[in-house]
Structure 1
Amino acid sequence: MAFSVLTINPGSTSTKLARFEGEGCVWQDVLRHTAEELAPFGTVSEQLDFRLGLVRSALAAHDGGAVRLDAVVGRGGIIDPLPGGTYRVDPVLVDRLRLGRPWDHPSNLGGVLAFSLADPLGIPAFIVDPVCVDEMAPEAKVTGLPELPKPSLLHALNVKAMVRRAAHDLGKTWNELNCVVVHLGGGVSVVAHRGGRAVDVNSANEWGPFSLDRAGGLPVGEFVRLCFSGRYSEGDIRRKLTSGGGLRAYIGTNDMLEVNRRIQAGDDEAAFYCRAMIWQIAKEVGAQAVSVGGPIDAVILTGGIAHDAGFVRLLLERVQWIAPCLVYPGEDELLALAQGALRVLRGEEPAQDYASSVLRQ
């Protein structure tokens, strides 16, 4: 009998759910949360009971409350640096997720929701490849200022899942594949993945290519002057970097469909800045190819923008000489969560322990 797994992916205004029998999706749902519903909660952690009640109601609606579950798996949050893998959620990890540091992020609720549902049933709860996965080579962390080592933050769940998919398609085991993975979303993660580890990565919020609304790497001297110009608060600067930069800053939108409409209508400015974004992404692919440190099996393009055939074509023109290119549009995170839990349930890999796995910086 196939294992039955419930997957939970909390976002800022929704909670996505799916139940899998093996790798087959039985049902999927998106629970929307209005600003008015979330307004009474001061922190993400305070939303737990609200979201938990909705998840239980959805379970009852889809399965009548009688379904057997073998595990519940939630999206991993932004916590301490950890190697990639599937982590069993225990009270220690729950407390850490609820702390909301360094960021009070909705994904931190994934593991807490999973544990809240699984523990009363006596079944395991897991998180899989959280954003804070850190497998970087020591040399990759050095920046030039000892006070500012390079952090590892990436779209690890989708990146790792696509490496496994590419390995299957190329007839290799996933941990022998050497590749560069490009996650094309609201932020862009470009990852050097060597022998099963993400040995180098740009940080989508801090440097590397600009994206739809993130500024990427900047001229540091001029940026310092901007910060001390008196025109902006610290909050203003952070918003410019993470939600007010990139294409949004140049052409006023972070909607790729709108960008394409403008280009099709002859908007030369939109076309120029889209090409500039592709230029920067291609440069980062080249840099991360060097970080792989040897022959590359594939350049993998994934994420929402990988659905855009025109964007992908222009990017491939710049990077396909590096290695064969594989395009896996979108990001099926609920399936990736289920697959992480299934690998443990099937005995293909052990569940990791959070407390003993944290990488001390």
Structure 2
Amino acid sequence: MTPTPMKEGSAAVQARRVLVLNSGSSSVKYQLLDMNDRSRLAIGLVERIGEETSRLLHTPLTGGDAETRERTGRIADHAAALKAAAEELAADGLGLDSPELAAIGHRVVHGGLRFTRPTVITDEVLTEIERLVPVAPLHNPANITGIRTAQALRPDLPQVAVFDTAFHTTMPEYAARYAIDVETADAHRIRRYGFHGTSHAYVSRKAAELLGRTPEEVNVIVLHLGNGASASAVAAGRCVETSMGLTPLEGLVMGTRSGDIDPAVTFHLKRVAGMSTDEIDVLLNKKSGLLGLCGDNDMREIRRRIDEGDERAALAFDIYVHRLKKYIGAYSAVLGRVDAVVFTAGVGENSAPVREAAIAGLEELGLVVDAGLNAVRSGEPRLISPNYARVAVAVVPTDEELEIADQTFALVGRAESAGQEVPVGQVDN
């Protein structure tokens, strides 16, 4: 199914709303934004899709106090999930049939090397996203399901894919290549792609604003620390290095993922422990990281246990922080000059002890944290380093949904400003 062209001057071109969809294997997160002022009109989550205990949480934000509505009961599949979300939006006068809806933006985890920018989705684009399933087996299939479901609901609207990997395609070849046989690597598309790209793009840009400079004027290390965690080195607005690789497994210690590990560990587990490839995959992706080290992947719980004298929790924390320090040091060397180290995402934004520990001892790199500033809890971008510090240390709350909406609207709104037709379905590549 290829959408019909969107004509200049049509209601769709004049529309200013964007629906952002993030489809997981058993969940759909959504936000509706008004791009006039980039405000949120509604947010929602459908979780445990396919289970008897499915749940939809919907919060309208168009007036008064935000009050979340909840639905429970079986939601059979993604089509039913998106239909239920559409019903909730319609109940607030924000239905998907509204002429004010300009486009639907989809988070797509893996875009390979082809998709370096937001791209209007066509059958050709979907086919390429499907071809990338072997390198993103947990994510791309769910993203595709969300796209197809949204297309069925609004085949007349531009559907735009915004790729997690896109921001990292500016990495130089010497940073992206693994040191394995080139023919084998090329045949199977084995290289470092990186993930969390929308977050790294948004946060590095906001960090430059915080410093009163343009992205082209600063070099930034971004630490996206959530249950999944990644680091990036951003030079003059372009990613030159990132910690995740072919998959989101490489790099930092994460909630349930091991991060960097000797590849021979997998051979050892297969030969000595008799584990299958699938069992090793589950071990490294779902039973490792903080969870594997101490039985918890919630940093708040780990800190509580540390305060009570729990040695396993303390060791897990130390391993987590040690890996962070290694990447800060390595990326300082890669960039040569660092203007800011920026913490973001759930742990990065909310865990003062992680930020303090990660920067401690790095004074020779120009990094210092002010204890008072670090202890402040705020939803705003802020500096946590003292004025005399050579390198700024900052906390910048990420906003991946806003980044997706911005990129989506910039793409579909381009013709409006240029006075041209928007050929819906054309690959912007």
Q: TM exceeds 0.5?
A: yes
Aligned partners of 1:115 and 1:125 also within 8 Å:
yes
- The alpha carbon displacement at 1:288 in A equals 2.1
Letter in 2 for 1:311: V
Counterpart selection for 1:143 from 170, 178, 203: 178
Per the alignment, residue 197 of structure 1 pairs with: 238
Distance 1:114 1:312, change over 3 A: farther
Counterpart pick for 1:154 among 195, 211, 219: 195
1:150 Cα shift? 3.3
Q: Which amino acid counterpart does residue 46 of structure 2 have in structure 1?
A: L
Deviation per residue, 1:76-126 (Å, 9 max, x gap): 232433454322222222333456712152234444445444432xx3221
- Structure 1 residues 94 and 142, CA gap change in structure 2 (3 angstroms): closer
* C-alpha distance in structure 2 between counterparts of 1:297 and 1:304, whole Å: 23
Partner of 1:312: 355
| 1:334 matches 2:401 | yes
- Maintained 8 Å contact 1:72/1:117: no
Instruction: Sort the Cα spacing of 1:73 and 1:25 in 2 relative to 1 into closer, same or farther, 3 A.
Output: same
Which residue pairs with 1:295 in the alignment?
337
Give yes or no for the alignment of 1:13 onto 2:26. Answer: yes
- The one-character-per-residue Cα deviations of 1:199-241 (angstroms, maximum 9, x if unpaired) are 2112274432322211122234454322321431111111111
1:134 match: secondary structure: helix
**Which residue of the other structure, out of 278, 296, 308, is the alignment partner of 2:321?**
278
Q: CA RMSD in A?
A: 3.1
Residue 306 of structure 2 corresponds to residue 263 of structure 1 = yes
Give the match's secondary structure for 1:81: coil
Give the number of equivalent residue pairs: 347
Distance 1:50-1:2 versus aligned 2 partners, 3 A rule: closer
Aligned CA distance change for structure 1 residues 3 and 11 (closer, same or farther; 3 Å): same
Does the C-alpha gap of structure 1 residues 342 and 354 become closer, same or farther in structure 2, counting only changes over 3 Å?
Answer: closer
Letter in structure 2 aligned against 1:119 = P
Q: Percent identity?
A: 24
191-200 or 218-227, larger mean C-alpha shift: 218-227
> 1: CA distance between counterparts of 2:240 and 2:424?
20
Distance in 1, matches of 2:424 and 2:270, equals 41
CA contact (8 A) 1:88 1:351 kept: no
TM score, norm. by length of structure 2: 0.72
The equivalent position to 2:290 in structure 1, one of 209, 228, 247, is 247
8 Å Cα contact 1:344-1:351 kept in structure 2:
no
Q: 1:32: how far off?
A: 2.5
2-side partners of 1:252 and 1:226: how far apart? 21
CA distance in 2, matches of 1:175, 1:110: 35
Do structure 1's residue 171 and structure 2's residue 206 form an aligned pair?
no
Are 1:77 and 1:108, in contact at CA under 8 Å, matched by a contact in 2? no
Over alpha carbons, which structure has the higher Rg?
2
- CA distance in 1 between counterparts of 2:395 and 2:424 reads 30
Contact in 2 for aligned 1:97/1:109 (Cα 8 Å) = no
Question: Aligned partners of 1:109, 1:15: CA distance in 2, in Å?
Answer: 10
Partner of 1:42: none
1:50 pairs with 74, 80, 91, which one? 80
Aligned residue for 1:124? Answer: 158
Q: Secondary structure at the match of 1:36?
A: coil
Moved over 6 A (4+): 348-354
Residue among 77, 85, 93 paired with 1:63: 93
Structure 1 Cα separation of the partners of residues 214 and 413 of structure 2? 17
Residue 137 (structure 2) pairs with residue 101 (structure 1): no
Question: CA offsets, 1:229-268, max 9 Å, x none?
Answer: 1431111111111111112112112122221221121212
- Counterpart CA distance in 2 for 1:210 and 1:74 is 28
For 2:426 and 2:249, how far apart are their aligned partners in 1?
26
Q: CA deviation at 1:4?
A: 1.3
Q: Distance in 1 between matches of 2:177 and 2:409?
A: 36
Residue 87 of structure 2 corresponds to residue 87 of structure 1: no
Q: Quick one: which amino acid aligns to residue 160 of structure 2?
A: F
Q: Once the 2 structures are TM-superposed, how far is the Cα of residue 73 of structure 1 from its aligned partner?
A: 0.9
CA distance in 2, matches of 1:234, 1:116: 37
Work out whether 1:228 is the aligned partner of 2:271.
yes
- Cα distance in structure 2, aligned partners of 1:2 and 1:297: 39
SS at match of 1:210: coil
SS in 1 for 2:341: strand
Q: Please identify, of 29-38 and 174-183, the stretch whose mean Cα deviation from structure 2 is larger.
A: 29-38
CA contact (8 A) 1:72 1:126 kept: yes
Aligned equivalents of 1:337, 1:94: Cα separation in 2: 18
Gaps of 5+ in 1: 40-45
Q: Is the 8 A contact 1:182 1:300 kept in 2?
A: yes
Choose which of 30, 33, 36 in structure 1 pairs with 2:45. Answer: 30
- 2:223 aligned residue (168, 179, 182): 182
Provide closer, same or farther for how the CA distance between residues 209 and 93 of structure 1 changes in structure 2, counting only shifts above 3 A: same
For the Cα contact (< 8 Å) 2:225–2:346, is it kept in 1? yes
Q: TM-score, normalised by structure 1?
A: 0.84
